Amino acid sequence: MGRVVAITGASGGIGRASAREFARRGDDVALLARGRAGLEAAAEEVRAAGARALVVPVDVSDPDAVELAVAKVEDELGEIDVWVNVAFTSVFARFDDIAPEEFRRVTEVSYLGYVYSTMAVLERMQERDRGVIVQVGSALAYRGIPLQSAYCGAKHAIQGFHEALRCELLHDRSGVHVTMVQMPAVNTPQFSWVLSRLPQQAQPVPPIYQPEVAARAVVFAADHPKRREYWVGASTVGTLVANAVVPGLLDRYLGRTGFSSQQTGTPRPADQPTNLWRPADGPQGRDYGAHGAFDDRSRDRSPQQWLAQRYPQVTAAAGALVALGALGAGLARRR
């Protein structure tokens, strides 16, 4: 029998692609986000796959609204089996070009939105002693990069929150599981709608993956939630390994390359929409879909992801090597 899956940030990008992937498996999907145009279009895709869809407009930075959204999903679709946190917003700018209220807004949506959503659904899952919560993270949960201080701060916060909650559930021997999926650069519409103060059009740091790669990882994590986290893409693995072994060297490398690698070289459109305070689809009712503007440069599969999912012992061995490398680097610095 199909499950009931709820996804925040479901109107575009990874959330949108994940909704389609769950629906193809026969799961009913609740779609949560602010922008109604994207939500309605996503719902049509879920129904086209033969699953039930429920549109729930909500701002995840409002804990009361999130609580009502969870109640609506369970009233109309049934008990939630899987909850996926994806919703976020961001600002592309140097730290000293970000206003305090903008930094706060990114934190409220991109970090506290995960916390509030987890709070609301976890209570119900604990009463039933079953359920899965998937936190969609990023390589930036471990490795900060220039021009994304607000987003990196939120992802780092989610990582710490996830680890603490997982320990508590393990202590309780709970039937509820939480896992996290660390994503690479993904071709999503965010680069066309986040608030940007960069002189050029923002872009993901290559290599870039299609959102369907991320969606397959989310579904796999929901099916196998006892693992602490999943790394998606060879670039994620490389970044996290380098950050564990030679973080100072990586600081210097990103200081030299991080500005140019996140810009396309073409001027930023003067009329680019922003979704910081309101949904990007706005009064025009534009649906941005799952894909961004970089289809011609994006990969539609990840051999690393395939290997990690089918041979998890390889991932465990890689993790051990990372730990040994970090220990060796620390001893070398002491000497």
* Neighbour tally for 314: CB within 10 Å: 12
Q: Which two tokens stand for residue 90?
A: 């961001």
Given a contact cutoff of 8 angstroms between Cβ atoms, the answer to whether 20 and 12 are in contact is: no
User: What is the largest distance, in Å, between two alpha-carbon atoms of the chain?
Assistant: 62
CA end-to-end span of the chain: 59
Is 151 one of the annotated active-site residues of the chain?
yes
Phi, psi angles (nearest 5°) of residue 210:
-75, 150
Alpha-carbon Rg of the chain, whole angstroms? 19
Residues in the chain: 335
With beta carbons less than 8 A apart as the criterion, state whether 216 and 18 touch: no
Which one of 114, 116, 142, 151 is the catalytic residue?
151
- Please report how the helices 149-171 and 113-128 are oriented relative to each other, as an axis angle in degrees rounded to 10: 20
Cα–Cα distance for residue pair 63/69, rounded to 1 Å? 10
* Residues with catalytic function: 151
